[in-house]
Amino acid sequence: MISILVAIAKNGVIGKDNDLPWHYPSDLKYFKLVTTGHTVVMGRNTFESIINRNGRPLPNRKNVVVTRNKNFMYDGVEVVNEFIKYLEQDHKEEIFIIGGSEIFKYSIPYADRLYITHINKEYPGDVFMPEIDMSLYELISKRDEGELSYCVYERKSK
Ligand SMILES: NC(=O)c1ccc[n+]([C@@H]2O[C@H](COP(=O)([O-])OP(=O)(O)OC[C@H]3O[C@@H](n4cnc5c(N)ncnc54)[C@H](OP(=O)(O)O)[C@@H]3O)[C@@H](O)[C@H]2O)c1
């Protein structure tokens, strides 16, 4: 199963200067809770932003980095060059696509579940969430906390 996990501002912004434009400790906690013990898949830019922030890949998770660079290597990280082939594999366990925008764009058609933290505030930024046809999904859970709304959507059965 392929899941997308993302925090999106009211104006569609998800990133600024290859970082998150905001700091919500509760959202980081949620991210950790949902993804720990699982596979997290990210684009090379998002991976670099995590390394800049934390100095290491995300602990206690299998880190998969998507890049077209065939020479890319990093300790403790699995590298994927052929992203569409990877998405089309039969993923029996839930894998989490954690961004950024370019990686989401390719993943959206394959996403069975969406974990979206809606931020009820506009932020300036330079990276936006690609459009998702939400009529294909149904809301299965929602929790509001201040200006954040943690929602989970599942693809409607055909
Ligand atoms: N709000 C959120 O929840 C959230 C989540 C994640 C990230 N972000 C933000 O999003 C921004 C980064 O997003 P981004 O769109 O610039 O970059 P990205 O999606 O993280 O990474 C883009 C890179 O991924 C590789 N790539 C993309 N498509 C590929 C394909 N089909 N096959 C193989 N490799 C592929 C390429 O790497 P190479 O150039 O190495 O080939 C490309 O340069 C940052 O600001 C970050 O903080 C926000």
What is the pLDDT, as a whole number, of residue 49?
Answer: 97
Residues spanned by the domain of 20: 2-155
> Do 88 and 2 contact (CB within 8 A), yes or no?
no
The predicted model gives 128-137 an average pLDDT of 98
Residue nearest to atom 8 of ligand 1 (CA): 100
pTM (global) more than 0.85? yes
Total domains, the chain = 1
The ligand 1 atom at the shortest distance from the C-alpha of residue 84 is 31
Give me the torsion for CA of 72, 39, 5, 16, rounded to 10°. -30
Cα-Cα end-to-end distance for the chain: 16
Give CA–CA dist 119/82, Å, rounded.
Answer: 32
Assess whether pLDDT exceeds 70 at residue 7: yes
pLDDT digits (tens, 9 = 90+) for 98-115: 999 999 999 999 999 999
| CA–centroid distance, residue 18 to ligand 1 (Å) | 9
Cβ count near 90 (within 10 Å): 5
> What is the mean predicted confidence (pLDDT) over 86-98?
97
Token pair, residue 68, equals 């077209």
Q: Does residue 158 carry a pLDDT above 70?
A: no
Structure tokens given for 6: 């993302």
Atom of ligand 1 minimally distant from the CA of 5: 3
Closest C-alpha residue for ligand 1 atom 32: 83
Residues 127/100, Cβ–Cβ less than 8 Å: yes
Exposed (0-12), middle (13-18) or buried (19+): which is 9, by Cβ within 10 Å?
Answer: buried
pLDDT for the residue 83: 98
pLDDT single digits (tens) 56-85: 999 999 999 999 999 999 999 999 999 999
The distance between the two most distant Cα atoms of the chain, rounded to a whole number of Å, is 44
Which of 49, 103, 129 gets mutated to test ligand 1 (max ligand atoms within 8 A of its CB)?
A: 103
- The CATH number covering residue 149 comes to 3.40.430.10
Q: How far is the CA of 140 from the centre of ligand 1 (A)?
A: 27
Segment 115-132 shows an average pLDDT of 98
Q: CA-CA distance, 21 to 101, in Å (whole number)? A: 14
83 lines ligand 1 (CB under 6 A): yes
* CA dihedral for 42, 44, 48, 51, sign (positive or negative): positive
